[in-house]
């Protein structure tokens, strides 16, 4: 079963992959996993290597099948040769065996030939190919990788409201992709919806799985433990959870091997109700956020302007930047063509070796953890392990941020590189902490966000401000800049709630930098009403 589904943009759908070879390939694999963690969703290099390995394994499988076929042909020829005299003797066995030649051949054949045949049958076939599978098994995706891939497709399905019949045709959010999914893939998605308590959606995916079952592959499905009865049973459980017992009964009765057990299964399902996975372990993906992410959403026309900014720093008087106003309350602007291709390539070069699963800060436990809220890879620069040339890059970025914002930035200020693979997203959130943590004690809260876009997200991946119903596409070289606090009062601005839409095609890379309150103490007031306690803690921390 293929858990990693790669789509390539096209205008027409194609037939699904040859499932027989793929399924036999998986059956031949062993459940051994490498301790080296791989990232197949966001790092295309590793996914390409996985695809190359898939080609090697299929070629190896074909060699194995050819060896098996060769052995089968030998056995068939032997059987046909020995069947001929038996057919000639049928009905006149005594007369036939009266011939001494026939008697001799029968006795010798029964004594010698069958022993050699048995020995031949016991000889292993394709041992080299089997060893190849074993030796390369540690390069295969783990169960966690497969789960991540299924959840990534789930985020795309839910955010962009993709029904089963459209996904099977490769149609996602108005774009048709050159690819498809199988009955087993639909069953995996139905299972995930069931586990997360989305029973109505699970019913849709399970029913579609049944429509995609191919009778000619039934024997292969049986080898994999995937049968129509398994789909029917999970479908019936969904109906029971939805309190539609008659539909559950009809589902079980419609299957020949389940019909006689239908009442017993219904009793079991009613007595052991399903407990969905905790909401904390699921992506949030609120409806308002999803609707803005979709291609059907268009930003409302405004009277805001595009202009060249040459005032926030002396350098911009010589080389003004093209600025587009998106909102005045809160203040949000976009600068275009800020980074060159060479600068972006350098940032990616120093950040790529440092990427690891990103985490989010949870105020209740006062620590950063890996969470379903954000599904991406992340790295911080500057970093002690980065390439030495990275320091020059960081200093140049700091200067660019000062030019754009007109604000002070600490020379030691870290920037975060985030890379999203397909389905990668960030649920709606605020950039400010609004909590007493190490960062806010030292520098105050995050007053300003500066977000650099390092590539074009071909489809999906926009930044959306849900309160403002504003969508900003990911476009290479531009910078999104906004205030998280209101004017001189520095009250936290709840209108800045924003998120990253799931990426559909390709990847999305961004770099975030946050400018803090206390770094602006000589150019802007940093005291916030009702926050005197936090201010005193900051002072005590710095004096201590």
Q: Tens digit of pLDDT for each residue in 430-453?
A: 999 887 777 777 788 899 999 999
In a domain, 33, yes or no: no
Band the pLDDT of 40: cuts 50, 70, 90: confident
Whole-number pLDDT of residue 307: 87
Residues 237, 303 share a domain = no
Whole-number pLDDT of residue 106: 85
Could you count the other beta carbons within 10 Å of the beta carbon of residue 342?
8
Residues 473, 456 share a domain = yes
Report pTM.
Answer: 0.81
Q: How much is the average pLDDT of 224-243?
A: 93
Residues 334, 217 share a domain = no
Residues 367, 274 share a domain = no
DSSP characters for 330-376?
A: TEEEEEES-S-HHHHHHHHHHHGGG-EE--EEETTTTEEE--TTB-S
Residues 292, 265 share a domain = no
Q: How much is the average pLDDT of 191-202?
A: 97
Please determine, for residue 363, whether its predicted confidence score (pLDDT) is greater than 70. Answer: no
Who has greater pLDDT, 539 or 273? 273
Who has greater pLDDT, 139 or 230? 230
Band the pLDDT of 50: cuts 50, 70, 90: confident
Domain boundary among 113, 139, 165: 139
In a domain, 149, yes or no: no
Domain boundary among 107, 139, 171: 139
Please determine, for residue 273, whether its predicted confidence score (pLDDT) is greater than 60. Answer: yes
Residues 502, 413 share a domain = yes
Whole-number pLDDT of residue 223: 66
In a domain, 37, yes or no: no
DSSP characters for 506-530?
A: S-EEEEEEEEESGGGTTTS----TT
Domain boundary among 223, 250, 279: 279
Judge contact between 240 and 269, C-beta under 8 A. yes
What is d(CA 355, CA 128) in angstroms, rounded to the nearest whole number? 37
Please determine, for residue 45, whether its predicted confidence score (pLDDT) is greater than 60. Answer: yes
Percent of the chain past pLDDT 90, that is, above it, reads 53
Whole-number pLDDT of residue 7: 35
Please determine, for residue 320, whether its predicted confidence score (pLDDT) is greater than 70. Answer: yes
Residues 192, 77 share a domain = no
Cα torsion for 213, 218, 222, 227, to the nearest 10°? Answer: 30
- Beta-carbon contacts of residue 457 (< 8 Å; ≥ 6 apart): 420, 473, 474, 503, 505, 506, 507, 508
Whole-number pLDDT of residue 530: 54
Give every strand in the sheet of 306-309, ordered side by side.
Answer: 306-309, 321-328, 331-336, 479-483, 446-453, 508-516, 415-420, 377-381, 356-357
For the chain, the average pLDDT equals 85
> pLDDT tens-digit profile of 450-476?
999 999 999 999 999 999 999 999 999
CATH number at residue 344: 2.60.120.620
Residues 459, 332 share a domain = yes
Residues 376, 262 share a domain = no
Question: Considering its fold, how many domains does the chain have in total?
Answer: 3
Band the pLDDT of 82: cuts 50, 70, 90: confident
Please determine, for residue 67, whether its predicted confidence score (pLDDT) is greater than 80. Answer: yes
Please determine, for residue 9, whether its predicted confidence score (pLDDT) is greater than 60. Answer: no
Please determine, for residue 373, whether its predicted confidence score (pLDDT) is greater than 50. Answer: yes
Residues 125, 54 share a domain = yes
Helix axis angle, 44-89 to 127-135, nearest 10°: 160
Please determine, for residue 407, whether its predicted confidence score (pLDDT) is greater than 70. Answer: yes
> pLDDT tens-digit profile of 494-507?
999 999 999 999 89
Residues 422, 320 share a domain = yes
Q: How much is the average pLDDT of 160-181?
A: 94
Q: How much is the average pLDDT of 344-350?
A: 93
What is d(CA 422, CA 505) in angstroms, rounded to the nearest whole number? 6
Who has greater pLDDT, 180 or 428? 428
Please determine, for residue 477, whether its predicted confidence score (pLDDT) is greater than 60. Answer: yes
Band the pLDDT of 343: cuts 50, 70, 90: very high
Who has greater pLDDT, 463 or 114? 463
Band the pLDDT of 536: cuts 50, 70, 90: very low
CA diameter of the chain: 119
Map residue 275 onto helix, strand or coil.
Answer: coil
Whole-number pLDDT of residue 258: 96
Whole-number pLDDT of residue 15: 36
CATH number at residue 228: 1.25.40
In a domain, 16, yes or no: no
Please determine, for residue 266, whether its predicted confidence score (pLDDT) is greater than 70. Answer: yes
Could you count the other beta carbons within 10 Å of the beta carbon of residue 143?
10
Who has greater pLDDT, 516 or 14? 516
Strand 415-420 and strand 508-516: pairing? antiparallel
Instruction: Give the number of residues written for the chain.
Output: 544
Q: Report the first-to-last Cα separation within the chain, whole angstroms.
A: 60
Residues 128, 211 share a domain = no
Q: How much is the average pLDDT of 245-270?
A: 96
Helix axis angle, 245-253 to 262-271, nearest 10°: 140
Question: Which segment of 107-116, 279-288, 349-358, 374-383 scores lowest on mean pLDDT?
Answer: 107-116
Who has greater pLDDT, 248 or 95? 248
In a domain, 348, yes or no: yes
Band the pLDDT of 330: cuts 50, 70, 90: very high
Question: Omega before 188 cis (within 30°)?
Answer: no
Whole-number pLDDT of residue 209: 96
- Its domain, for residue 211, covers 182-279
Please determine, for residue 365, whether its predicted confidence score (pLDDT) is greater than 70. Answer: no
In a domain, 111, yes or no: yes
Could you count the other beta carbons within 10 Å of the beta carbon of residue 80?
9
Ramachandran quadrant class, 233 (left: phi over 0; alpha: psi -120 to 50; beta: rest): alpha
In a domain, 531, yes or no: yes
Q: Which of 123-127, 215-219, 319-323, 329-333 has the highest mean pLDDT?
A: 329-333
Could you count the other beta carbons within 10 Å of the beta carbon of residue 38?
16
In a domain, 28, yes or no: no
Whole-number pLDDT of residue 255: 95
Whole-number pLDDT of residue 157: 96
């Amino acid at each position: 079963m293929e858990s990693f589904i790669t789509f390539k943009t096209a205008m027409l759908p194609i037939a699904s992959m040859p499932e027989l070879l793929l399924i036999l390939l998986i059956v031949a694999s062993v459940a051994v996993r490498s301790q080296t963690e791989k990232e197949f969703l966001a790092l295309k290099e590793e996914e390409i290597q996985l695809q190359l390995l898939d080609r090697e394994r299929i070629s190896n499988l074909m060699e194995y099948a050819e060896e098996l076929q060769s052995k089968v042909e030998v056995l068939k020829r032997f059987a046909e040769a020995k069947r001929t005299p038996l057919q000639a003797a049928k009905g006149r066995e005594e007369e036939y065996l009266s011939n001494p030649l026939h008697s001799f051949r029968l006795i010798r054949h029964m004594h010698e030939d069958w022993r050699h045949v048995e020995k031949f049958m016991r000889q292993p076939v394709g041992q080299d190919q089997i060893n190849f599978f074993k030796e390369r098994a540690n390069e295969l995706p783990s169960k966690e990788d497969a789960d991540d891939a299924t959840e990534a497709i789930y985020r795309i399905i839910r955010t962009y409201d993709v029904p089963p019949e459209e996904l099977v045709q490769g149609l996602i959010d108005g774009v048709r992709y050159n690819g498809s999914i199988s009955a087993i893939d639909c069953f995996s998605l139905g299972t995930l919806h069931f586990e997360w308590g989305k029973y109505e959606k699970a019913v849709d995916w399970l029913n579609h799985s049944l429509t995609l079952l191919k009778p000619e592959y039934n024997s292969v499905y049986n080898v994999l433990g995937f049968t129509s009865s398994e789909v029917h049973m999970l479908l019936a459980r969904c109906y029971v959870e939805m309190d539609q017992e008659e539909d559950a009964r009809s589902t079980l009765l419609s299957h020949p091997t389940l019909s006689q057990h239908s009442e017993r299964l219904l009793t079991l399902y009613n007595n052991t109700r399903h407990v969905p996975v905790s909401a904390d372990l699921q992506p949030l993906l609120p409806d308002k956020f999803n609707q803005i992410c979709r291609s059907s959403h268009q930003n409302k026309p405004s009277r805001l302007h595009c202009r060249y900014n040459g005032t926030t720093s002396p350098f911009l008087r010589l080389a003004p930047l093209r600025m587009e106003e998106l909102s005045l309350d809160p203040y949000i602007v976009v600068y275009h063509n800020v980074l060159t291709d060479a600068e972006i390539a350098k940032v990616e070069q120093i950040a790529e070796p440092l990427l690891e699963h990103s985490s989010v800060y949870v105020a209740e436990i006062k620590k950063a953890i890996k969470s379903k809220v954000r599904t991406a890879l992340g790295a911080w620069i500057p970093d002690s392990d980065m390439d030495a040339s990275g320091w020059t890059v960081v200093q140049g970025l700091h200067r660019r941020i000062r030019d754009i914002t007109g604000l002070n930035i600490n020379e030691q200020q870290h920037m975060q590189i985030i890379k999203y693979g397909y389905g990668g997203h960030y649920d709606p959130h605020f950039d400010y902490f609004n909590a007493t943590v190490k960062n806010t004690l030292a520098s105050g809260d995050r007053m300003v966000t500066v977000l650099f876009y390092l590539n074009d997200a071909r489809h999906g991946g926009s930044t959306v401000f849900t309160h403002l119903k504003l969508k900003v596409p990911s476009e290479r070289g531009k910078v999104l800049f906004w205030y998280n606090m209101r004017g001189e009062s520095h009250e936290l601005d709840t209108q800045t709630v924003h998120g990253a839409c799931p990426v559909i095609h390709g990847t999305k890379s961004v770099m975030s930098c946050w400018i803090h309150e206390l770094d602006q103490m000589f150019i802007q007031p940093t005291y916030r009403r009702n926050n005197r306690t936090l201010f005193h803690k900051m002072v005590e921390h710095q004096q201590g």
